[in-house]
Structure 1
Amino acid sequence: MRATAKIFWILGVFFLIVAIAYGFITGRYEPLGVETVGFPAMLALAALGLMIAMVLSLTARKHEIEAMDDLDGEVAAEAGVQGSFSPYSWAPLWAAVGAALCFLGVAAGWWIFAFGVIFAIYGVLSWVLEYSTGQHAH
């Protein structure tokens, strides 16, 4: 986790430097001033990288050294269960269809966006509640 935090610190600082340079160059050479989409997007990218780096650094302080941070560690130290996955779940498909329709709806028509929201809500709710047995399960 410490190596991942360092990578995100480097990425965050890099994108911040690039965003400042981009804002300076577009502000100086563009007739309308600083570009209104790219500059804030790069600043947001830098902020996201720095936020992830901060969370990973704080988490690494709280926990002991993991196998990936041990310089003498073996690959077998990371063996074991990595997560719980549903191999026959249809929920990710419906969530992806909903996201695709939402993106298409922004470009083609807002009525498509409404169908995308319906599919996305159904997909996300079924994905989240997939293993829920309910309050009164026996």
Structure 2
Amino acid sequence: MRKEFWLFLSCGVFFVIVTPVYWALTHEVTGTTALTMAMLLFFMISFYLWFVTKAIPERPEDRKDGEIVEGAGELGFFPPYSWWPLFAAMAFGLLVLGVVFGWWMFIMALPIGAICVIGWLFEYYRGEHAH
């Protein structure tokens, strides 16, 4: 994770340099805000990668003498397919349309969204992929 940390940190430093220059040349609030948020995002990811680097042992990818075979084995848990994100996105779309067209639609979409989020959260407790 050290290489990833340095990659994101260098992008954050790039935005630290570019953001004031952009503001000085354009005096535009929207672009400066976007560049500031990008800078903060890169620093947040850099902090996370730095923190994770301290918690895990050194990976073969981080060593110059690391071999491909050293990285073999189980990589982690990857969830199988799920329909819940699609339904949650449609419920969120209804919520947004409810704000635009009328609060009655927003109120109607709230329980649908709650059901979708609960179903997505507990999908590994029932059915085919239960633990």
Please classify the TM superposition score into its range, dividing by the shorter chain length: 0.7 to 0.9
1:50 aligned residue: 43
Provide the rounded CA distance (Å) in 2 between the counterparts of 1:16 and 1:71: 31
Provide the rounded CA distance (Å) in 2 between the counterparts of 1:116 and 1:20: 43
Provide the rounded CA distance (Å) in 1 between the counterparts of 2:53 and 2:43: 15
What is the TM-score when the length of structure 2 is the normalising length? Answer: 0.73
RMSD of Structure 2 on Structure 1 (CA): 2.9
Provide the rounded CA distance (Å) in 2 between the counterparts of 1:128 and 1:46: 32
What SS does the aligned partner of 1:109 have? helix
1:65 aligned residue: 58
2:16 aligned residue: 16
2:80 aligned residue: 86
Provide the rounded CA distance (Å) in 2 between the counterparts of 1:36 and 1:121: 36
Gap regions ≥5 residues in structure 2: 127-131
What SS does the aligned partner of 1:64 have? coil
Provide the rounded CA distance (Å) in 2 between the counterparts of 1:97 and 1:50: 32
Gap regions ≥5 residues in structure 1: 28-34, 134-138
* Sequence identity percentage: 26
2:100 aligned residue: 109
Higher helix share: 2
Q: Deviations over 1:62-90 (max 9, x none)?
A: 33211221222233314424323123x21
What is the TM-score when the length of structure 1 is the normalising length? Answer: 0.70
User: 1:7 and 2:7 equivalent?
Assistant: yes
What SS does the aligned partner of 2:61 have? coil
1:30 aligned residue: none
Tell me how far 1:103 sits from its aligned partner: 9.3
Q: Deviations over 1:31-75 (max 9, x none)?
A: xxxx22221121011011111101211221233211221222233
Count of aligned pairs between the two proteins: 123
